[in-house]
A and B are shown apart, each in its own frame.
Chain A
Amino acid sequence: MPDMDTITPLRPATGAQLLAGLRGLLMPHRLIMLALALTGLAAMVTQMDWSWLPAYLPRLWGGLLTTLWMLAGSVILGFALALPLGVVQVIGPRPLRWLASGFCTVVRGTPLLLQLWLLYYGLGSLFAAYPVIRETWAWPYLREAWPYGLLALTISFAAYEGEVMRGAFAGVPNGELEAARAFGMSPRKVFFRVWLPRAVHRALPVLTGEIILQLKSTPLIATIAVADLYAIVTRVRQATLLTYEPLLLLAGIYLCLSAILTIALRWLEGRMPSGG
């Protein structure tokens, strides 16, 4: 069945693969391909119009930071939400279980763009309709666009990750939990000392791929006027009216971001104690 657990092939290349790839670069045909690629790059640099780049560098940097903040924020908040979503689907009372799995199904079954627009245009204009809300401390934030972007990204990440966590919680061998109980641990302790850490550990390899997928979703927030990397490049496109240059730069930046993130996350994963 279509389930996020089954999409292992979608994972980005691992760090080890990348390293092996670097070593393999020295094969003759690869050297030729590399030379061709470098020639292509040189042609791009010299033949295409990059005169706009210096003027936009500070703004691009700002956009990059916004993108990374939205990514980090939505991953942390989303993961925090995913834990209860996963637990409830395994041991929760039936109504809660239905609620959680219904939430995951609806969010995963509809496009993120639609959810984003529903939140920003629908929910956002609803807030504004009540003058009471305009008086509160929250209004300066509710006026901004980014909270809605963060919320939509968080919900989406929580739904996908909640499904992963459900599998991870269910996959912790029963024997380990029984052993913990046999040691006289309270149910609370069993959960926090054994079940939760084991489940999170099982979910980690999938998490890396999910974070890359999340990075790839962030440009959507540009459609609600958040000035992320994509939005800045869109402004460059309009200001310069160039077709390819800004888009190619954007693709290059995301390519680098994905590679750096993948290597960093693999490194982190390697440093995690294997926990038995």
Chain B
Amino acid sequence: MFQSIDFGLLALNSPGWGGALLAGFWRSIQLAAGGYALGIVIGILGAVAKLYGGRVSRDLAEIYTMTIRAVPELVLMLIFYYAGTDLLNRLMGLFGAGGIDVNGLAAGILVIGLVQGGYTTEVIRAAILAVPRGQIEAAHSFGMSPMRVMRRITLPAMLPHAIPGMANLWMIATKDTALLAVIGFSELTLVTKQAAAATREYFLFFIAAGLLYLILTLGSNVVLRLFERHARRGMVAPR
């Protein structure tokens, strides 16, 4: 069967599916990057709530992370997909702002970001805890405002501790975008399945898509390692 594979099907222009595959790949990257960035915002808020928040916000953050870690991503994504934009629209309606039409990309980013946020919260919380207390106390005693301590001291100082966990989360984000195929997003995995079904060349397309994912994960691995070296400069080597 392998000798009969028609690699022309991967050509960039129709009837080749290469262009569609690459467009799906680009969509996957956008979804992963957007979701990852949103996850970081949620993660910082969540970690701050857990470490410095009042009792209620601490508990709410705890419930959020616990739910995210216990329920399958696929189920969470479906709930967020319907509830997220539905609630947003109702909220906007309540304030008289009129309906907002959230497009597919934004909905996907929202869904990935909400899932990622749960994990990011834990990574950042652990990283902040790894910053020596004295550094933060010193900043406070210089009369810096809490916001400024956060911005100038805590966040930069926790960065090297957060990088391994954050790098891992990036890998998870790229792979989680594939789950959006089940909801019907035209990202790489769904386009691949459509191409494979249309041409009956399952191996060709699934392996091609696998290679694209590998390029993304291995490539970002290299970049992340360089970044880690940069962030760790001046620190004592681990071990």
Find B164's partner among A1, A108, A112, A121 (CB 8 Å cutoff): A1
Residue in B74, B197, B203, B224 whose Cβ sees the most chain A Cβ within 10 Å: B74
Q: Does the CB pair A117–B70 fall under 8 Å? A: no
Q: Does the CB pair B71–A251 fall under 8 Å? A: yes
Q: Does the CB pair A258–B71 fall under 8 Å? A: yes
Q: Which of A206-241 contact B (CB under 8 A)?
A: 212, 215-220, 223, 230
Interface size band for A: 35 or more
Residue of B nearest to A216 (CB): B72
Q: How far is the CA of A122 from the CA of B78 in the complex (A)?
A: 27
Residue in B125, B165, B206 whose Cβ sees the most chain A Cβ within 10 Å: B206
A9-B123, A125-B202 as given contacts; A114 in contact with B192, CB under 8 Å: yes
Of all A-B residue pairs in the complex, the 4 with the closest CB atoms, nearest first, are: A111-B178, A258-B70, A122-B202, A118-B206
Contacts of B197 in A (CB 8 A): 121
A9-B123, A10-B69, A216-B73 as given contacts; A247 in contact with B228, CB under 8 Å: no
Distance to closest chain A CB from B224 (angstroms): 7
Contacts of A215 in B (CB 8 A): 72
Does A33 count as interface, using CB distance less than 8 angstroms?
A: yes
Of B7-15, B89-97, B214-222, the segment with at least 4 beta carbons within 8 Å of chain A is: B214-222
Contacts of B75 in A (CB 8 A): 219, 230, 247, 250-251, 254
A111-B178, A247-B78 as given contacts; A10 in contact with B217, CB under 8 Å: no
Contacts of B178 in A (CB 8 A): 111-114
Q: How far is the CA of A212 from the CA of B165 in the complex (A)?
A: 18
Does B207 count as interface, using CB distance less than 8 angstroms?
A: yes
Q: How far is the CA of A56 from the CA of B204 in the complex (A)?
A: 40
CB-CB contacts of B164-193 with A at 8 A, as 1s and 0s? Answer: 110110110001111101100000010011
Contacts of A117 in B (CB 8 A): 189, 193, 196, 202, 206
Residue of A nearest to B215 (CB): A109
Does B26 count as interface, using CB distance less than 8 angstroms?
A: no
Q: Does the CB pair A12–B72 fall under 8 Å? A: no
Q: Does the CB pair A251–B175 fall under 8 Å? A: no
Does A255 count as interface, using CB distance less than 8 angstroms?
A: yes
